[in-house]
Structure 1
Amino acid sequence: MKILITGATGTLGRQVARHALDQGHEVRCLVRSSKKSGFLKEWGAELVRGDFCYPETLTSAFEGVDAVIDAATARPTDSLSIKQVDWDGKVALIQAAKAANVQRFIFFSILDADKYPEVPLMEIKRCTELFLAESGVNYTILRLAGFMQGLIGQYGIPILEGQPVWVTGDSSPIAYMDTQDIAKFAILALEIPETENQAFPVVGTRAWSAEEIIGLCERLSGKDAKITRMPINLLRTVRNIMRFFQWGWNVADRLAFTEVIASGKPLNASMDEVYKVFGLEQSQTTTVETYLQEYFSRIMKKLKELDYEKNKGKKQKNKRSPFKNVNSQ
């Protein structure tokens, strides 16, 4: 199958591209810049320049394509807004897919998006789900909660470096999932008829609060976390201030998502039926414990090696030369 992947340079998109190639699919990646996507070409993917925010660039990207996996989303540093990328751009992408008669469109949404209409990204995801369902394109929607990869920058590295770990409001337990596991579900969805025109939660084996993640990182690293709590009202004030500046709109919209992860409401769902449909076992899914244990094991081993080399260098430097005594006599 020939698959067009958007957002292939991102945390999730690159895993989708890698797994699709490993499964023998022909992969084409829609990229805005070839500088950041060279690794995809090295893996064996075809790169095509384009941007779904500019629909006229999409025609050539869809030539001969059987399916689309959309893993793109706006980043806080983008010049375009969340609405421009995650709504206007996605509408153009879905319309282009319909015009090209693609067999399947895989869309990554967010769990419980319909429960937070005041949060821009959640509301846009909900509306995109509806637009896709009404487009006439055969689709599969995978509703995610959080990526394990994000735990490293948010908790792992700050704890190792003795930097503050920020916790906002009432920590919402989140069922984090490894992006490699998410990629498996995305590729399998292309091959299973029962997933056509359906939406599924795709989340980890259990939900973890910020406090539980911090405790696990402390145990695995042997270091104590410096926890700094930010009142949710202060964050709301910052968000409202950012809305006054055009350059701060993306940041403000992202800060609004904190309302979700600081509400105390779990982002989790039962996966029992999902595993049955996709023919997978829960035991095959990476757990947060395993993921963080592997990370800290690698880091702690590296730190010990660096410390050994550092001490070895000091000993050699302090070692007295035998020629020094000869010259002094």
Structure 2
Amino acid sequence: MQVLVVGGTGTLGRQIARRALDQGHDVRCMVRIPRKASFLQEWGCELTRGDLLNPASLDYALEGVDAVIDAATSRPDDPKSIYQTDWDGKLNLLRACERAGVNRFVFLSILNAEQHRDVPLMDIKYCTEKLLKESELDYTILQGVAFMQGVVSQFAIPVLESQTVWVSGSPTSIAYMNTQDMARFAVAALDHEETVRKTFPVVGPKAWNSGEVVQLCERAADKSARVFRVPSFIMRFTEAMCSFFEPAVNVAERLAFAEVSGGGVSMDAPMEETYQSFGIDPGEITHLEDYVKEYYDSILKRLRAMEADLDKDAKKKLPF
């Protein structure tokens, strides 16, 4: 099957591209700057230059395509508003699929989006889901949560480097998912007719609040952490102030989304039907404790090797 991956250079998109290749699909990735996506080409992906805000480039990217997996979202450093990239861009993509006769569409959404429509990204995800359900496309909607890869930057690295761990709002239980596992579901949807025109939650094996994640990192790194919890009212005040200034609107949108992950509402869901529909064994899904342990084992091993090399160099310089 010829599959177009949109957002292939992202943390999730690259895993989807790799998984699709491993499953025998012909993979094309639409990217804005091909030279920054050379690694995808080295894996075996075909690259095509395109932009969600340029309809003509979408028509070209969709030529000969059988299915689309949409993992695109605006980046934190993107000067465009979330509504430009994630809403206008999605409208352009769906219309282009209709023009090209591409009916199979896998969309990566967010769990509980309908409960947080005051948050721009969640509102866009909800509206895109609604648009797909009203369309003639053979869609599959995957409602994910936060990824384990984000735990590294937010928790694991600060704990290891004795930096302050910043968390927001009330303790929120999140069933973190490995991007490699999310990619498995996205690609498996293409081979399972029972997933067509349906919506599924895709979450990790267990939900963790920020305090539990910090403790997990402390045990794995054998270090104590300094934690500073930012009250919700400060997040809301900062968001409101940023929204007054045009260059800071993107920041305000990001802060609004951060409040969701610290709002005290659990981001977890039953997975029995999802596993059955996609033909995936729950035992093969990554657990957060294993992911964190593997990360620390790898980092600490490299640090010890670096220290050993430094010791050798120091001894070579001794005059006796």
Q: Could you tell me the TM-score, scaled by structure 2's length?
A: 0.98
Q: Residues 277-319 of structure 1, C-alpha deviation per residue, up to 9 Å, x if partnerless? A: 1111211101001111111000111111111122222233335
Distance 1:78 1:244 in 2: 18
Residue 36 (structure 1) aligns with:
36
The one-character-per-residue Cα deviations of 1:247-300 (angstroms, maximum 9, x if unpaired) are 111111110012211111110000011111111121110100111111100011
Deviations 1:71-127 (CA, angstroms, capped at 9, x unpaired): 000112112111011111001101111111113100000000001121111111000
Superposition pairs of residues 229-308 of structure 1, within 5 angstroms: 229-308=229-308
Deviates further, 300-309 or 213-222: 300-309
Q: Contact 2:175–2:206 at 8 Å: present in 1 too?
A: yes
- 1:177, 1:203 within 8 Å by CA — same for their partners in 2? yes
CA distance in 2, matches of 1:265, 1:122: 14
Post-superposition shift, 1:230? Answer: 1.3
| Offset at residue 183 of structure 1 (A) | 0.6
Q: CA RMSD in A?
A: 1.0
Query: Structure 1 stretch 228-237 or stretch 103-112: which is displaced more?
Result: 228-237
Match of 2:114 in 1: 114
Partner amino acid, structure 2, of 1:5: V
**Which amino acid letter does the alignment assign opposite residue 182 of structure 2?**
I
Please tell me the residue identity of whatever aligns with 1:194. E
Q: 2:195: which partner in 1?
A: 195
SS of 1:224's equivalent in the other structure is coil
| Aligned equivalents of 2:134, 2:272: Cα separation in 1 | 28
Q: Deviations over 1:26-53 (max 9, x none)?
A: 0111110012101011111111111011
Superposed CA deviations along residues 49-76 of structure 1, whole A, max 9, x for unmatched, are 1101111221111110000000000112
Unaligned runs of 5+ in 2: none
What CA distance in whole angstroms lies between the structure 1 residues aligned with 2:104 and 2:110?
A: 19
Write the letter of the residue equivalent to 2:229.
R
Measured in 1, the distance between the counterparts of 2:17 and 2:228 equals 37
Give the match for residue 316 of structure 1: 316
Residue 131 (structure 1) aligns with:
131
**2:59 is matched with which residue?**
59
Partner of 1:324: none
The alignment partner of 2:191 has SS state of coil
- Could you tell me which residue of structure 2 aligns to residue 207 of structure 1? 207
- Comparing 149-158 and 9-18, the one that deviates more: 149-158
Contact 1:94–1:135 (8 Å) recurs in 2: no
Q: Secondary structure of 1:268's partner?
A: coil
Identity %: 50
Separation in 1, partners of 2:254, 2:132: 23
Query: Hey, what does 2:16 align to over in structure 1?
Result: 16
Tell me the amino acid that sits aligned with residue 171 of structure 2: S
Select between 298-307 and 9-18 the one with higher mean Cα deviation: 298-307
1:177 and 1:168 mapped to 2: Cα distance? 20
Please report how far the alpha carbon of residue 224 of structure 1 lies from its aligned counterpart in structure 2 after TM superposition: 1.1
Are the counterparts in 1 of residues 106 and 142 from structure 2 also a CA contact under 8 Å?
yes
In structure 1, the residue matched to 2:226 is: 226
Q: Does the 8 Å CA contact 2:168/2:259 hold for their aligned counterparts? A: no
Q: Name the SS for the 1:85 alignment partner.
A: helix
Who wins on radius of gyration, i.e. which is larger? 1
Q: Which amino acid aligns with 2:71?
A: A
| TM-score, normalisation: structure 1 | 0.95
Alpha-carbon distance in structure 1 between the residues aligned to 2:51 and 2:81: 14
**Using the alignment, how far apart are the partners of 1:150 and 1:42 within structure 2?**
26
Q: Do the aligned residues in 1 keep the contact of 2:6 with 2:13 (CA within 8 Å)?
A: yes
| Structure 2 equivalent of residue 173 of structure 1 | 173
User: Displaced runs of 4+ in structure 1, greater than 4 A?
Assistant: none
Q: Whole-Å Cα distance in 2 between the matches of residues 277 and 234 of structure 1?
A: 42
Equivalent residue number for residue 27 of structure 1: 27
**Taking structure 1 as reference, are residues 272 and 306 closer, same or farther at Cα in structure 2, changes over 3 Å only?**
same
Q: Once the 2 structures are TM-superposed, how far is the Cα of residue 216 of structure 1 from its aligned partner?
A: 0.6
The 1-side partners of 2:16 and 2:154 are apart by 23
| Partners of 2:291 and 2:120 in 1: CA distance | 31
Aligned partner letter, 2:55? P
Shift of 1:225: 1.0
